[in-house]
Every structure is written in C-alpha cells, then in structure tokens.
Amino acid sequence: MNKTTSKSRLAIILSRLKVFESPKIGWEQYATDSEVAASMIWNAYLIGDIEGKVIADLGCGTGILGIGALLLGAKKVFLIDADEKALETARENVTKVKSEGYGLGQVMFRCHDISNIKDSADVVLQNPPFGTKKRHADIIFLEKALEAAPVVYSFHKSENNGFFERFSAKKNAKITHVWPFKLPLKSTFSFHRRQIHRIEVSCLRFEKTD
C-alpha cells in the first residue's frame, strides 16, 4: 500500500485530481492550486491536526483538501458542498486515489448548504468564497466552521487578516498561525483576460479558546 510521505509527493497526487467541469461564478468556484493545498495540509499535519483526526472540508468542491487530509492519515473526512456536480467529481477523485493504491480513512459525502451543517469534527479545512460575489460569504463559512470544530484552517484575502482576528475574538477563538500565499487563479470564466491571476491570501489557523 502506498503512503504519502512528503509535501512534494502530496502536491503531485493532488495535481492529478479532476477539477470543476462547469464552475459557477456566483459560488466563486475556482480550482484550489495543488501546491498551495499541499502546503496548507502539510502544515496542519506537522502541527498534529491531520493524522487520526476527523476532518470536515466545508465547501469542498472537488475534494482536494479533504482528500489531501486522507492521504496524510485522517481517520474520517466529511466532504460537504451544496453543488451535486462538484460532489460527483469529488467521489470520482476519491475512487481514483484509492485505485492508485493509497489507503484512505472513511469518507462521508454531504450535499447541502453551508447553513445546514450538522456534522462536527476535530478540524475544519476550507477554501471558502472570498465574498466577492456574495457579500460576507467568507464570514458565513468561518462562522459555521468554528461551530463545527475547535480548530479551523481557512484561506482568506490577506488584506482582511485584521478583520478576522477581531472577528474570531468575538467567537471565542484566536488566530494561532498565519501562512501567506500568492494564490494562482487560472482563467476559468469567459470574462477573464489573463491566463493566471495571483492574489494575496493567507491560510489562517483558528483555535477555539473556550
């Protein structure tokens, strides 16, 4: 049975996963870059937040974060998204990884809106909408994530880090780590003029304080 033993190997496996077939602009469905995803998950792994843990990937899309957690030894992963088509692709990606000989923990698929999250976890991993199409979507996702788990890893625009530090304090949580990235967004929709547009984002690790 193959095992993932390095961040570079993890990034290679994640780069081979299927992405959105028909992305929805209103939901800000952009494929998460495999290198950035691998860095996020590897950092969480080194801290002790992946192996043997129950993980929830909120707004999972095609499953890259949750699958990455499974490859590093997560016990159970909830892949949660409101888009049935995206979840179908996530299922295909899980099957593909298993067919390559990687042993994975339990996977649970949930198709419902973020407001209807009922499952609890040890850790949430998420790359939520940044709120450019639906105002405050990023805040809604973080709020639900902090309800679902005591530890949350979440991507947000770096310019909003100060806001999320204040927001988390109101939710009895604190930011313990900040990892900056230049996130590449590949040309996805017809109105895009550049092949790749890079935005300044941070992966923030939140931890409940109560």
Residue in this structure with the two tokens 């996130």, named with its chain if needed: 183
For 131, other C-beta atoms within 10 Å of its C-beta total 17
Q: How confident is the model at residue 116 (pLDDT cuts 50, 70, 90)?
A: confident
CB-CB contact of 179 with 153 (8 Å): no
Residue in this structure with the two tokens 């927001």, named with its chain if needed: 167
Across residues 101-105, what is the average pLDDT?
Answer: 92
Across residues 112-136, what is the average pLDDT?
Answer: 85
Q: Rounded to an integer, what distance in angstroms lies between the CA atom of residue 48 and that of residue 12?
A: 22
Q: Give me the residues paired with residue 155 across strands.
A: 203
Higher pLDDT, 43 or 134: 43
For position 64, what pLDDT does the model report? 97
Four-residue CA torsion sign, 113, 183, 186, 89: negative
CB-CB contact of 188 with 23 (8 Å): yes
pLDDT tens-digit map of 166-190: 999 999 999 999 999 998 876 544 4
Domains of the chain in start order, with CATH, are 7-208 (3.40.50.150)
For position 183, what pLDDT does the model report? 84
Across residues 94-113, what is the average pLDDT?
Answer: 95
Residue 192 scores a pLDDT above 60? no
